[in-house]
Structure 1
Amino acid sequence: MSAKRRSSKKKAPIKLIDRNPKRLSHELRALGFFCLAIFIFIANYYPNTMGILGRTCIQVITTFCGVKGAAALPVFLIVPGLTFLFHSIPIRLLVSASTVSFFCYLILIEGLVHQFSTQLAWPLFPTSGGWIGSTGLSILTHLIGPNGTILFIIMSFFISSIVLFGVSLKRLLIEAANILHDIKAFLFADVTSSDEESALIKKTFHALFFTKKPIAAPAPSLSPKSVPKMPPIKVNETELNPVVVETPFEVPDTLDTNAPAILDDTDLGTVMESSVDNDENSEETIEMTAEQLPIELADEESPAERVTIRSKPYQLPPISLLAAPSKVTLNKGLSQKEIQRQSALLESTLTSFNVKAKVLNITRGPSVTRYELTPGDGVKISKITSLSKDIALKLAAPDIRIEAPIPGKSLIGIEVPNIATDTVTMRHIIQKTSFLSNPASLLSVIGLTISGESVLMDLAKMPHILIAGATGSGKSVCINTIILSIIMKSTPDQVRFLMIDPKKVELALYEGIPHLLSPVVTNPNKAAATLKKWALMEMESRYELFSATGVKDLAGYNQFVSEQQENASEEAPCEYAPLPYIVVIIDELADLMMVAAQDVEQTICRLAQMARATGIHLVVATQRPSVNVVTGLIKANIPSRISFFLQSQIDSRTIIDMPGAEKLMGKGDMLYSPVGSFKPKRTQGVFVTETEVKKVVSWWKKQGSPDYESDLVEIEPISNESDSNAKDNDDEPLLEEAKTLIMSTQYASTSYLQRKLRIGYNRAARIMDTLESEGVLAQYANEKKPRPVS
């Protein structure tokens, strides 16, 4: 029966036409109030669109009520209109009461505006309370004084609310009394209740404010007098868990992963996140998560066992080891007057060169301030970019960078360096983003953009990155930031490092951490041999393993191994072990290219082409971005780049394929161009101190020694004679042919060998020198004549 009644109610038609003449008159009056309110609103803010009547009307209203009264008048016209619609009050009573209360309320409001206005002289200006407000205020203050005026204002407020909204003062007081009664019952009621949810809330409240310990059990050292008299509580373990976790003093969700023993498996988030200011209690919250469990060091393993991954759990370092976040004053460094002055100066400078443009937005970043302007009709972008030197001169800036257009906007950005650069710390970005909760093992902190967005880089998606920068520009700090970010959230079972540091000082701080595959390689000859003989062999062996297990990449293989281990037993153990990511850090590519350019270039190109699926990723850095060091093959296979300050525009084009890096300010100011981006994004890099690195390295060293790969440690360096021997071996087939040719023709010269053997000058000259050393040719008698054949 109930179902039938419900269905009948749903099928009943809704009456949209009401033929009640009284109801219709109410709605017409309400519609009149609405139209009048809209008319006054538009006439107030857009007077040129309402004609002579609108301008005259708003001038009269502004004269009598002031600007503030004219702005508030539409609101007080809408309220009676709503009252006509929703209240069944006699028309005469409603119109008379609403009109009187409305004008009384308006006079009092105008009086308040005039009371707090600074212009008290007569005649009044439109920005004050107007004539109505001034007259009403002066009459009230003379009749009942200031205190009486305040009392009259309060009483008028309640009267107008009762008339216009139909609010009952009696009901209002009753509801307030009921709310106070409920609060009192909640705070001081017995915590034992039949309702489990309410009982849990009450127990949480009492645990927070009436006890110093969790409510599980009192400490034995407390005397009975010191314990509050409360009834005994019987709670099971499932009830206690949410009491401890859901207190207001717990760590926020974004920082729950700071605990070293927790590694979440949530989905991979976005790489770039908006930087939102945290609460002032963020530093206190971080300190709560810094408490770690005692570390149990494993026994020393034999060299033969160090090749495999050990199963001992590691504990991640807390972010309390990092330096406290600095106060990044984004969008707060410039005063309003300074912003207006710079904008006007920029517009006047462009106008003096017959370029019409208007500044629409100003964004202050950590190192530069970007002025976003829109060019006028018919103004070419090239005309603005050609004035960079003139704009820098007018703004008294060392140099400026023009981004035309800004990606995603129809605006041109002019980036002017700040007088003072804000330091961006790693801990600041970790607190603002979901860095620790992100499951990516190779996630790294990069810095902050001009608009304040935190930049995070997942090296597994890059999949390799090329870093270039002059001395002191921040290149080494960026490498330390990448390494420190990875070891802050990844254990040695997840990521291993192969570090190559020909300068012997940049990566020496990381010596001894368990993430290393071998000691830091400082010999350029051994570094070239390590890349050629071990890295390529490791990549090939992993591909063979993937082929045998039927997977495509490292993630699929580790998933396959985890499934096999779950199904394994003592009789049929799992034959496979998980593999970690391998990050190859090359601090200075130029030193390796000087030793064995051909081998290093071929090895890097092959690793960059094929090693992504095997989990091997390259971080290549150089301070000499010339075409001899960063060759075309290397650039083509490493699409992700970071460019710090460079000396020339040619070097900038070598790294990021466009100018701009020569105009950076140094000290971490970078152009970050990840794979797939159309234009590089200007970013202020994170600053990591040596003290922070030492603290994190010390944390890992306490958990065990590194498990070096024996094959990697025993690699012999490449000899310097290898290149020359290779060239000699290449010349052997031509050497016999050249000897036969010379003996048959009795004519020998370098140009003659070039023509006959179709080789270059260098190779022909080298063959001539070899034939001379073997006694086939005599020494030079005359450089203009062919050599005599002996």
Structure 2
Amino acid sequence: MVKQWLVKQRAKGQLLQAFKAGEIGIPHKTGEQRLFRYPKINDIRFNYERKTLTYVFTLPYGVDPKILKKKEYVFQQFFSKSIELKGEIKTFTLTVFVTQFPNEVKYDYAAMKLKGKLPIPVGLDTNGAFYFYDMVKNPHLLIAGETGSGKSTQARSIITTLIQHLPPEDLHLYLCDLKLGDFHIFRKVEHVKSFDTEAVGLKTTLLGLKKLMKKRGMLLLKHEVSHIDDVPGKQPYIILAIDEVALLKKEKECMEIVEEISSIGRALGVFLILSMQRPDAKLLDGKLKINLTVRMAFRSADGINSRIVIDKVGAEKLEQTGRMLLKIQSERELKEIQAPYLTIEGAKMILEGYKVQGEENLLEAKNEPLECEELERVDDWGELDE
């Protein structure tokens, strides 16, 4: 008991030193001497399983809570970069992670232990746990980051994971690689129904998806349900992934359909994964940006670009390749996460078992699948105009 008390007193003293160094408190004078009334430390908790030290403290009345974010560097200097500061107005928690945040996370599908209808792998969080979310609950994803930040690797990891998690009858992928990156590794995978490299071909795909969404919408009306999962039978989830979507800036008709998918796709089982190197404020206007409920910000050129993606600065300070700030609309706080690293060669080896065998491939009939396969499958449920 005495030993634990001494450890807590030492930890308390370290936090008080941080408050003093950062002048976090209310100044007052005693004669000629300028003193500070510092935050009150209410509790100190050790979690030996998670290897964390958590402080709970309250600010004195009159202290602007924003000062904690401005002086976060002080806590990092006293403890480490691996800290998490949470709270608002008066009561805050400061969690110090004893185990250092890894600079690289090896891709391991089995270790992810994914759950949910459409699980999206994100990476290792500051708690040392693998983080993922369900795209059905949090639809549409934006991945942004400058060259070499890990953006393309993350898109590769997500698509490869989804292919392993769901059979081709439950997941249809429509891919567009406008900068001719590495989406080509997915071309002959059975899940992939369309692969475009130019806006002209993508436009045909998008028009087909628009027609499909209209049919699915009519099904919801017919069966008086609010989600495609609730209609009789089972329809595949559809993901449209566009790499370097900023190149569509001048393609008004394409962007209108992309925005429409972002608005109504969730209920219809149609989802977006958009990626870009340099975020464009005009492209990500209010409507589209709000509907992208999950955003991954890898290293950005400056605070302005960071704010465009996640509404806050911070991504410009990320140094490690594969490190991101994750914003999920339903959660108040940003999460710092290290994405799993999957090489192109590693992805090719995984995908080999999911490719269509032989010369015949659905992609050879450019953009026809939507007309002949997807729409017929919807029609199999019966006439919609009965």
Structures share fold, TM-score greater than 0.5:
yes
1:553 corresponds in structure 2 to 227
1:618 corresponds in structure 2 to 272
Q: Which residue among 196, 221, 226 is the counterpart of 1:521?
A: 196
Q: Judging by fraction of residues, say which structure has more helix.
A: 1
C-alpha separation between the residues in 2 aligned to 1:406 and 1:686?
32
Q: How does 1:190-229 map to 2 (within 5 A)?
A: none
Q: 1:371 deviation in Å?
A: 7.0
- Cα distance change, pair 402–647 in 1 and its aligned pair in 2 (3 A): farther
Q: Which residue among 58, 63, 66 is the counterpart of 1:382?
A: 66
Within the alignment, does 1:431 sit opposite 2:111 as a pair? yes
CA root-mean-square deviation: 3.8
Amino acid in structure 2 at the alignment position of 1:695: M
Q: 1:681 deviation in Å?
A: 2.0
Q: Which residue among 75, 84, 87 is the counterpart of 1:405?
A: 87
If you compute each CA radius of gyration, which structure gives the higher value, 1 or 2? 1
Within the alignment, does 1:462 sit opposite 2:142 as a pair? no
C-alpha separation between the residues in 2 aligned to 1:632 and 1:522?
27
C-alpha separation between the residues in 1 aligned to 2:111 and 2:314?
31
Maintained 8 Å contact 2:44/2:53: no
Amino acid in structure 2 at the alignment position of 1:674: I
Q: Which residue among 684, 709, 712 is the counterpart of 2:367?
A: 712
Q: 1:346 deviation in Å?
A: 6.0
C-alpha separation between the residues in 2 aligned to 1:538 and 1:642?
28
Amino acid in structure 1 at the alignment position of 2:348: K
Maintained 8 Å contact 2:188/2:356: no
Within the alignment, does 1:585 sit opposite 2:254 as a pair? no
Q: 1:495 deviation in Å?
A: 0.4
C-alpha separation between the residues in 2 aligned to 1:384 and 1:699?
51
Helix, strand or coil at the partner of 2:147: coil
Structure 1: stretches of 5+ with no match in the other structure: 1-44, 47-66, 68-335, 562-577, 716-790
1:606 corresponds in structure 2 to 260
Q: Which residue among 165, 171, 188 is the counterpart of 1:495?
A: 171
Structure 2: stretches of 5+ with no match in the other structure: 25-37, 371-386
Maintained 8 Å contact 2:324/2:339: yes
TM-score between both structures, scaled by the size of structure 1: 0.39
Maintained 8 Å contact 1:517/1:706: no
Q: Judging by fraction of residues, say which structure has more strand.
A: 2
Q: 1:708 deviation in Å?
A: 4.2
Q: 1:349 deviation in Å?
A: 4.0
Helix, strand or coil at the partner of 1:601: helix
Maintained 8 Å contact 2:141/2:292: yes
- Cα distance change, pair 711–386 in 1 and its aligned pair in 2 (3 A): closer
1:350 corresponds in structure 2 to 19
C-alpha separation between the residues in 1 aligned to 2:238 and 2:174?
7
1:660 corresponds in structure 2 to 314
1:646 corresponds in structure 2 to 300
Helix, strand or coil at the partner of 1:411: strand
Helix, strand or coil at the partner of 1:431: helix
1:530 corresponds in structure 2 to 205
Helix, strand or coil at the partner of 1:584: strand
Identical positions, percent: 23
Q: 1:469 deviation in Å?
A: 1.6
- Cα distance change, pair 362–543 in 1 and its aligned pair in 2 (3 A): same
1:474 corresponds in structure 2 to 150
- Cα distance change, pair 370–691 in 1 and its aligned pair in 2 (3 A): farther
Deviations 1:364-413 (A, max 9, x none): 9x9xx987563564454333333345566x5598x898734289x83145
1:786 corresponds in structure 2 to none
Higher relative contact order (CA 8 A, sep 6+): 2
Q: 1:590 deviation in Å?
A: 0.9
Deviations 1:452-504 (A, max 9, x none): 23212211221211222222222112111211111112111110100011111
Maintained 8 Å contact 1:644/1:666: no
C-alpha separation between the residues in 2 aligned to 1:659 and 1:702?
44
Number of positions where the alignment pairs a residue of Structure 1 with one of Structure 2: 345
TM-score between both structures, scaled by the size of structure 2: 0.75
Q: How does 1:144-159 map to 2 (within 5 A)?
A: none
Q: 1:416 deviation in Å?
A: 11
Maintained 8 Å contact 1:443/1:459: yes
Q: 1:579 deviation in Å?
A: 2.9
C-alpha separation between the residues in 2 aligned to 1:584 and 1:475?
17
Maintained 8 Å contact 1:609/1:637: yes
